[in-house]
Structure 1
């Protein structure tokens, strides 16, 4: 049985194609930390810790956590007995984003050592994840939505039309507290027609009263929203429940749910119809799988999302969605929320998952199939 013998961290910065703007931040560069594990058989595994105000960590904090807390847990792990180490990572005091990197790299190297694509490895390792169907998941294609940054109606309409013309069938529109949300979404709907699914993400921008007025206005105008994501502050589950009870559009929680205790509190309050599970919030695949199973058992819709991150993190998230069969259920059937890597001007790694328009392609190779850092990224690291 192979053992993990190398633990390498790679601080990375990659320029974006265009600014990424939400209600809480604007970025023109991806800052992230990639983690590479190597076992004594030569197999590698990759994970990612995205850096931002949203994940709440700096590169320095991730590097310190990796060296002081995570490397001692992971080095020496037998890849065939990875779950015990995954539990230890989940229980550590490291920030969630740092735990994500270590957990995902561990799953990836274990999958590579087993000779299985990561999605297929997850099905085998977590029997309940595939919904009890016993489905065989290997390589695959998953749809993703595409995010439209906060902007005025004409710019949103033009961007939406461009994405629809290139094959995206689901668009997520970011909103801030200022401006006319109904006018902006009407402009988008008029630009793309009725065949494109539209989602709204307010990133906590509204009070309950403001959110109800905005969503009802969109409903009355016939915008035809698929869902509204996190319209109110994360910690105010009562406000989220109030919004849900007073509109007909499904409400999805994002920032409100990071871990199992958050999900249990959300369920107790009846605050949402759906939940967006992100590896950087949960701390990797092991805890994210627990969230998916718990949410699904409680009747919540589940979407797998991402931060602004490279195809390293996107690949692990896409493998989770594929293994859980979420690409065949609402809202994942319209597209997972995994467009973060499409904002990068250049790839961070060679090999591995890739985008083809609105699709994420998972290679039929062991693990994620990542070969190494991209040359231009390595030269700057």
Structure 2
């Protein structure tokens, strides 16, 4: 199975409603979809999401990165997987989203060659995962109403976007807790929106008000590892690193510093499944549970993240709701949703049959 070509196309998918965080507001997603073709007529599929404020990757850089990767791995044999992934990762610096798209397409092909779903190829057995649902940044009243609506739809984990205004964030969480109480697990994601002291202030205020929080995700700036450790040492709530974890080296540094209680692994940050497996192994050795999440991505690339998540026991939390915001699926087949459940088919690889024209 030698690689004969790598092509890409850009798709735009309007969102059903705006997605707001402390870093940006999104009304539609633009994803770059990749097809890796082999000499035996098979195709593997992948996708990349430009998230400049987090990964630094744009549509133009992703397209250019994919073309550069193509020029470096064309003609290589899928069966020589280790050499292939090493070449993919070493042929350019950064551009992790482009690497992720090609990486997942190769894993799709590897699983297809064995005629098994990707999660089983990677060692997993679970056929579905339970995702949280994100509550976008808004007024306390709107966020509380949105939370109540999601609970009524059967979601038991809410991921609440906060950041940039600690006092207002406390009001938001009070309003949400007032509506849903303790019947669901509440996760807070500040997207780097606080200083370390602000994060501690909010954490203590919530504890004083009896608002139980399952975890606090990325409260401080991405590279402020010492600030992340300060928050972890001051609060009893588990602190999860997201934007702070791009690479296996980041994971190792955070473990050595004692700066996080968990990692949120995203393929767009780390460059795909090959590196995600390494991050999960470091976390497993350190006894640090992981979450798997995504950027604002379509079913295709979120599906790859889900297959990876289902293959690792150290991954205990799932933030795979992005396709639920999308008005359409640009791929035929793949993962599907039943309420809060992310479900896999028995179709080999990612389960994607083709891309829509």
Q: Within 5 Å, which residues of 2 pair with 1:304-315?
A: 304-315=292-303
Q: Within 5 Å, which residues of 2 pair with 1:3-22?
A: 3-22=2-21
Of the three residues 174, 184, 195, the one matched with 1:196 is 184
Alignment match, 1:127:
none
Alignment match, 1:366:
348
Q: CA deviation at 1:182?
A: 2.0
Alignment match, 2:149:
162
CA–CA distance in 2 between the matches of 1:302 and 1:163?
24
CA–CA distance in 2 between the matches of 1:38 and 1:140?
27
SS in 2 for 1:42: coil
Alignment match, 1:120:
120
Residues 1:344 and 2:326 aligned together: yes
Q: CA deviation at 1:40?
A: 2.5
Residues 1:205 and 2:204 aligned together: no
* Larger displacement relative to structure 2 (240-249 or 262-271): 262-271
Alignment match, 2:103:
103
Q: CA deviation at 1:38?
A: 2.0
* Larger displacement relative to structure 2 (39-48 or 225-234): 39-48
CA–CA distance in 2 between the matches of 1:4 and 1:119?
23
CA–CA distance in 1 between the matches of 2:114 and 2:331?
22
Alignment match, 2:58:
58
User: What number of residue pairs does the alignment pair up?
Assistant: 354
Normalising by structure 1, what TM-score?
0.90
Residues 1:146 and 2:133 aligned together: yes
Task: Give the conservation status (yes or no) of the 8 Å contact 1:182–1:221.
Answer: no
CA–CA distance in 1 between the matches of 2:55 and 2:223?
16
Task: Give the conservation status (yes or no) of the 8 Å contact 1:45–1:105.
Answer: yes
CA–CA distance in 2 between the matches of 1:12 and 1:308?
13
Alignment match, 1:287:
275
Q: CA deviation at 1:326?
A: 4.6
Q: CA deviation at 1:227?
A: 0.1
Q: Deviations over 1:24-62 (max 9, x none)?
A: 111111011011112223322111110122221121111
Q: CA deviation at 1:139?
A: 6.4
Alignment match, 2:84:
85
CA–CA distance in 1 between the matches of 2:354 and 2:7?
12
CA–CA distance in 2 between the matches of 1:219 and 1:321?
31
Q: Within 5 Å, which residues of 2 pair with 1:37-48?
A: 37-48=36-47
Task: Give the conservation status (yes or no) of the 8 Å contact 2:103–2:272.
Answer: yes
Q: CA deviation at 1:138?
A: 4.8
Q: Within 5 Å, which residues of 2 pair with 1:20-39?
A: 20-39=19-38
**Gap runs ≥5 in structure 1:** 124-136
Alignment match, 2:220:
232
Q: Deviations over 1:309-355 (max 9, x none)?
A: 0111111111111111356x4xx2xxx01111111111111111112
Task: Give the conservation status (yes or no) of the 8 Å contact 2:4–2:37.
Answer: yes
**Gap runs ≥5 in structure 2:** none
SS in 2 for 1:323: coil
CA–CA distance in 2 between the matches of 1:208 and 1:55?
22
CA–CA distance in 1 between the matches of 2:299 and 2:41?
22
Q: CA deviation at 1:190?
A: 2.1
Task: Give the conservation status (yes or no) of the 8 Å contact 2:72–2:91.
Answer: no
Q: CA deviation at 1:183?
A: 1.9
